[in-house]
Amino acid sequence: MRDSDGSGSLDPQSAAERGQTVSDQPRPGSGHGHSKGRSYGTTAGLIAGDRSASQLVVGVGYPYLSDLAVGNVVADRLGKCQLPDVAVADCSHTPIAAYQTITVGEYDTVVVVGARKRGDGLNTGTPSADPGRIHTYPTADVPVPESDIVDRLAECAMGSNTVENVVITTKALGEFPADSTVIDIEPEYDSWGLTVDEFSPSVADRFDDLLDRVLECLERDYSLE
């Protein structure tokens, strides 16, 4: 891993001392895991297409955090394809920002994609229940826990940018179009640290399948060259 001078690591503390954010620093890695030179986390909103599109793909995740960044990498890949009538959002911010991005347009179809861990919580060092498994389900199937919605929103303010929190926050504050889908993949690596810059084998092996699943949820046939 490299610091902003190319010699150290991606270090939030040293970046702050220089008046930078982590996303100001050069992004390490190559291959599926990350796109060199792509600065995630600097824009809460569309990275391709515009609000006039009828379809929106929302990549949710934590930049720089291996499997937890898969939604952002999917957004980056699809954004570069310039798919007709498809807007793409890199929602690597809080769920509140994602909610604003999702509801500001008049989309007929929204697809939310990212990693979602099953089992214990994040930052435990343990894999999800079935790493690499892809789940597809309507946003309507995600319940809004009214008893703890205030706590959920507080988590959002603290940066808990999970697929689940994005969907719950959007449903609590607004609504999804009727034809909206969540596609998530179970992560093998869940660390919050900045030492892993590639996907785990479980996620890397299913990355193309994840892309195909997103395309299948859109309203017309698309292919990636």
pLDDT per residue as tens digits for the range 39-79:
444 445 789 988 899 999 999 988 878 899 999 999 999 99
Euclidean distance between CA atoms 23 and 9, whole angstroms: 13
Alpha helices in 90-185 (DSSP H): 95-104, 149-157, 163-173
- The continuous run of DSSP H or E covering 209 comes out as helix 207-216
Higher pLDDT, 205 or 222: 205
pLDDT of residue 214: 96
Selected from 3.40.50.1450, 3.40.50.1220, 3.40.50.800, 3.40.50.1370, the CATH number assigned to the domain covering 40-216 reads 3.40.50.1450
What is the residue type of 85? Answer: D
- Paired strand residues for 91: 60
Euclidean distance between CA atoms 64 and 134, whole angstroms: 21
CA 90 to chain CA mean position, Å: 7
Torsional class of 214: left (φ above 0), alpha (ψ -120 to 50), beta (otherwise): alpha
pLDDT at 211 over 90: yes
Place of tokens 């940018």: 161
**Residue 225 banded pLDDT, cuts 50, 70, 90:** low
Euclidean distance between CA atoms 133 and 181, whole angstroms: 16
Percent pLDDT > 70 in the chain is: 74
Euclidean distance between CA atoms 179 and 217, whole angstroms: 9
DSSP structural state of residue 15: H
User: In whole numbers, what is the pLDDT of the chain averaged over residues?
Assistant: 78
Q: How many CB atoms lie within 10 A of CB 220?
A: 11
